[in-house]
Amino acid sequence: MSVTHDRVGHLVVPPRSVTDAPRTSSGGPEEYRPDPKRWSALSVTLVVGFMSLLDVSIVSVALPSLQRDLGASPATVQWVVSGYALTFGLMLVPAGRLGDAFGRRRLFLLGLAAFVVASAAAGAAPSAGWLVAARLVQGLAAGCLAPQNSAFIQQLFRGAERGRAFGLFGATVGISTAVGPVAGGAILGLASGPDGWRWLFYVNVPIGVVAFLLALRLLPRGGSGGRGRIDVVGVLLLGAGALAVLFPLVQAESGGLSRLWWLFVVGALLLAVFAAWERRVVAHDGQPVFDPRLVTRTRGYGIGAALGTVYFVGFSGIWLVFALFFQTGLGYTPLESGLAVTPFALGSAGSAVVAGRLVERHGRRLTVYGLVGVMVGLAAAAVVLLLVPPSAAGWAIAPALLVGGLGGGFVISPNITMTLRDVPVAMAGSAGGGLQTAQRFGAAVGTAALPGLFYLVLSATGDDYPVAAAAGLCVSVLGAAAALVLGVVDLRRNRAEERDGADRVADDGGPVPDERHGPDGVHSHGHAWHG
């Protein structure tokens, strides 16, 4: 294989066509041989993914004690949460591309080692500045880990097994987001004292060390789709654009939206330039950091990413609203507040695993049904908060949250599967990074907007906490409704394609090859653009 220079200056080793299955010595397609360690490897990556996603929200319950023990200002302490979320989101797409180009196993191990070291540094932080710096590094490391999870699933699994693996992955994403406050409250309850918050970070160290040793043994070698230099200009444009959009959102509690609104304009311009640059790189046979054809030519990817974005606006923000309602309004402890929303997490966990087994048969219908369940559950919770005495709210909303959680498990897991299953394996990392970036953006909008709305309604109603919480729930319902529209559009399109296929069979008088299925038994529509 020859090494060439492309017309945008990249040193390139031409990658294997992603439409081709691996070849035998005779030139024919190589039979897929399942890795006997694939489920064990998946378990390791899911534990690490759970740990890194949990750290997005687990620290929020400890902010008062952090501020007191370190003598920090509220704005500085807020960066313990927002700084992690910011660097996490910024790293996802570049890390996905790095994994595709230079090896997912290598990047996963590097990210995990950095995450463990940064967690230990955060736990030992002597000052607020040290803690914020450690959290920024921790977020970068988590951003390296996240896209490799979905890429390993693409690499290790085929057919129905891939659906089940994505089901477990979706359950991990949903549960880790929902149980962060519960886990944080439980750790603070066990590690009482002025430095109890340090164990929120120290707990990652033994888990991470064990996971690292297991990953060395279980994760597959190879699996990168090609070799080549990273599109540095694209990385810089994407990073600057994402930073400009996300920074006002993570600074929302300190007035970032009103002071820094102009950064949204700058970010939009930079992202537009990024899109144009990536199209130019593709046109000159270069290797983009994020191939725009993933959105325009890969079946289901664009609409799935958009669906995930709008859903996460309500899904992520509502947990802060519940924390404010229960802790500030009703005087719950962090642990009690977390336990009050546990029914949602339990429902989501159970249904996500079931959804992973059903997604190959029912596809996008599961997402549509799940979104209806989320809307019904959260709307019912809002009504309950308005009707029952505040003292009974914790128990009264449990059934409604359980219904919402059951629906939520049918949203995240199938959407991840439907969005990524047509992606070429050689681009699985960058595609997974793009999807998770979209979800992180939705989460950033939700965590900025919903608490802001909560405080606005609280001020307007004279500290009526149930009304303020119900308002936040209504916005979450609207987010689910917007996602439902996208899900129905995709479902109708899929049905139209199925009807067209049936019509071709009838017109030709016999079956026609199903161009949507590749050698691995899953949909492969759109792969031809990589030949």
Tokens of residue 280, six digits: 């130019």
Tokens of residue 248, six digits: 């006002």
User: d(Cα 291, Cα 409) in Å, to the nearest integer?
Assistant: 29
User: d(Cα 359, Cα 485) in Å, to the nearest integer?
Assistant: 19
Type of residue found at 225: G
Q: Are 14 and 136 in contact (CB under 8 A)?
A: no
User: d(Cα 95, Cα 114) in Å, to the nearest integer?
Assistant: 14
Class in CATH terms, 35-221+289-530: mainly alpha
Q: Are 96 and 431 in contact (CB under 8 A)?
A: yes
Count of H helices and E strands in the chain? Answer: 20, 3
User: d(Cα 404, Cα 64) in Å, to the nearest integer?
Assistant: 30
Q: Would you report the helix, strand and coil content of the chain in percent, each value rounded to 5? A: 80, 0, 20
Q: Are 357 and 388 in contact (CB under 8 A)?
A: no
| Distance spanning both ends of the chain, measured CA to CA | 16
Which pLDDT tens digit goes with each residue over 305-357? 999 999 988 887 888 888 889 888 888 877 788 788 889 888 887 888 788 77
**The three-state (H, E, C) secondary structure of 5-22, written as one string:** ECCCCCEEECCCCCCCCC
User: d(Cα 280, Cα 237) in Å, to the nearest integer?
Assistant: 14
Q: Which of 226, 237, 222, 293 is nearest to 11 (CA)?
A: 226
Radius of gyration of the chain (CA): 23
User: d(Cα 284, Cα 293) in Å, to the nearest integer?
Assistant: 14
At which residue do the structure tokens 């004690």 appear?
65
CA-based torsion, 190, 194, 200, 203: positive or negative: negative
Local structure of residue 155 (DSSP, 8 states): H
Tokens of residue 144, six digits: 């390296």
Q: At what angle do helices 159-190 and 38-57 cross, to 10 degrees?
A: 40
Q: Which of 264, 217, 268 is nearest to 238 (CA)?
A: 268
CA 135 vs CA 116, 117, 179, 235: distances in Å: 11, 11, 20, 22
Q: Which of 419, 418, 431, 421 is nearest to 293 (CA)?
A: 431
Q: What is the pLDDT along the chain (531 residues), one digit of tens a residue?
A: 443 444 443 433 333 333 334 444 444 444 567 778 889 999 999 999 999 988 887 887 777 778 788 887 777 777 887 788 888 888 888 888 888 777 889 999 999 999 999 999 999 988 888 999 999 999 999 999 988 888 888 888 887 788 788 878 877 877 787 677 778 878 887 877 778 889 999 999 999 999 999 999 999 876 555 555 677 888 888 888 888 887 787 666 666 667 888 888 998 999 899 888 888 887 877 777 777 877 877 778 888 899 999 998 888 788 888 888 988 888 887 778 878 888 988 888 788 878 877 877 887 889 999 999 999 999 999 999 999 998 898 899 999 999 999 998 899 888 888 888 777 777 777 788 888 888 888 887 887 788 888 888 988 888 899 999 999 999 999 999 999 999 999 888 877 766 665 555 555 555 444 444 443 333 444 444 544
Q: Are 178 and 319 in contact (CB under 8 A)?
A: yes
Q: Are 97 and 290 in contact (CB under 8 A)?
A: yes
Single pTM value for the model: 0.76
Which pLDDT tens digit goes with each residue over 179-233? 777 788 788 878 777 788 899 999 999 999 999 999 999 998 765 555 556 778 8
Q: Are 288 and 425 in contact (CB under 8 A)?
A: no
Local structure of residue 519 (DSSP, 8 states): T
**Count of CA atoms in the C-beta half-sphere (13 A) of 218:** 18
Q: Are 208 and 48 in contact (CB under 8 A)?
A: yes
CA 224 to chain centre: 22
User: d(Cα 119, Cα 200) in Å, to the nearest integer?
Assistant: 9
Q: At what angle do helices 262-283 and 232-250 cross, to 10 degrees?
A: 160
Tokens of residue 259, six digits: 């002071």
User: For the sheet containing 227-228, what is the strand order?
Assistant: 4-5, 11-13, 227-228
Type of residue found at 191: A
